[in-house]
Amino acid sequence: MSHKTLSPLRCANDTTKMSSFAGVARLRKRQRGAQKEETEVKEGGEKQSKSVKVVAKRVVGVMFWTMMFAILIRFRGRKKSSFSDEREDTNTNENNAKENEVFTREELGKKSLHLSLCGEVFDLSGGGGGGRGTADSFYGEGKEYSFFIGTDQTKGFLTGKREESNVDVDVLSHGEVLELEKWIRFYREGGSRGTYRKRGVLGDGWFYDENGKQTERGVRFWEKVEEAKRSYDDRHSSSSSDSNSSPSAPPLCRAAWTEERGGTVWCDSIGAGTKTTKTYPRLNAKNGVCECYEDQGYSDLRKLYENCLPKSSRCFTG
C-alpha cells in the first residue's frame, strides 16, 4: 500500500485559498451590515419625517379650528349684541308709549291700583309681579289708602281724606307744594320696592288737557315747586341767629283712611335718641291742611280736630 505525500507547495496554496475565502466572507458580512445600517438610518429618517409632517398637520389643524371658533364667537357676540340692542330699543319705545298714555276720568276709575297725583297717573300693581301684594295691603279695597285709587286725590294727599274737589294750586303754601313734589318723586322712583310705574297723565283739563299737554295750572304748580325750593335753600343758608329770617313751615301730618274707621291724621316725634319732641296735629283754617306743631296750642287759624284732645298726637277726622 503506497501513501501519497502532499507537497509543501500544495498545502500552502490550499491555506491561501481558505484565507482568501474567509476574507471575502468577512467583507461581504461587513458590506451587508453597512447596507443594513444604511437601510435602518434611511427608514428612521423617513419615519421621523413622517412624524414631523403629522405633528405639523395637527398644529395647523388646531390653529385653523381655533381661528374659526374665535371668528364664530365674535360673530355670535355681535349678532347677540345687535339683537339685544334691538330688544332694548323696543322695550324703551314700549315703556315710553305706556308712560305717555292719556287717561280720561272714566278710564282711570276702571283701572285697578291706579292713582293720579298732580295729573300724573301711576300703576301700583307692579306689572303683575310681587309688588301687587304690597300695594293691595295699602291701596286695596277697604285699606288705609284706598281712597287714592281711581281718581286724582292731590288734595287728599294734603288733608288725609277723600276730597271731591280739585286742589287750588294758587293757595298752596311752599310746604304743601314741596310735600306733593316729594310724593310725586316717590311714585316716579317706583315706591319703596321699585315696583310702581308711571303710565301717563290724566287729561281732565286740570293739570293736563285731553291731548296730554300741561295746562297753565300745571305749569304754575311746578313754578311754585321751584320757588319753594329756592326759598328753602335761602332760608337754610342764612344764619340761624338772624332774627329777620322767616320761621320754617311746620311739617305736614301723616294721614290714612279706611272704610271702617274713616280718616286718621297723626304727627311723628322730631329729633333722635333721647332728644325727641312730640308734635301735635292741627287743622290749618286757611287751606284745610293738617300740620304738626311742637306746642299744644290751638286757635281759629290753627284749629283742634273735633273729638281730639290737645295733647293727642293722633286724631280721627271721620
Q: Encode the chain (318 residues) as per-residue pLDDT tens digits.
A: 555 555 555 555 555 555 566 666 676 767 676 666 666 656 666 666 666 666 677 777 777 777 777 777 776 656 555 555 555 555 545 555 567 899 999 999 999 999 999 999 999 987 544 456 668 888 888 888 889 999 999 999 888 888 988 999 999 988 889 889 989 998 998 887 788 999 999 999 999 999 999 999 999 999 999 998 888 766 656 544 454 444 567 888 888 777 677 778 889 888 766 678 889 999 888 777 888 998 888 888 888 988 888 888 888 887
In the chain, where the domains are located: 28-95, 100-238, 250-318
Give dist(CA 234, CA 180) in Å, integer.
20
Closest CA to 198 of 139, 257, 259, 127: 127
Under CATH, what is the fold of the domain 100-238?
A: Flavocytochrome B2; Chain A, domain 1 (3.10.120)
Which position has the grid cell 280720561? 104
CB atoms within 10 A of CB 295: 11
> From edge to edge, which strands make up the β-sheet containing 254-258?
254-258, 262-266, 314-316
Q: Is residue 216 a contact partner of residue 195, using CB atoms and an 8 Å limit?
A: no
In this structure, the dihedral spanned by the alpha carbons of residues 76, 77, 81 and 84, taken in order and rounded to 10 degrees, is: 60
Helix (H) or strand (E) holding 269, with range, is none
pLDDT value of position 246:
47
pLDDT value of position 255:
81
Which amino acid does the sequence have at 179?
Answer: E
pLDDT value of position 101:
95
Handedness of CA 96, 209, 181, 112 (dihedral sign): negative
pLDDT value of position 245:
46
DSSP state string for 163-212? -SS---GGG--HHHHHHHHHHHHHHHTTTTTT--EEEEEE-SSSSB-TTS
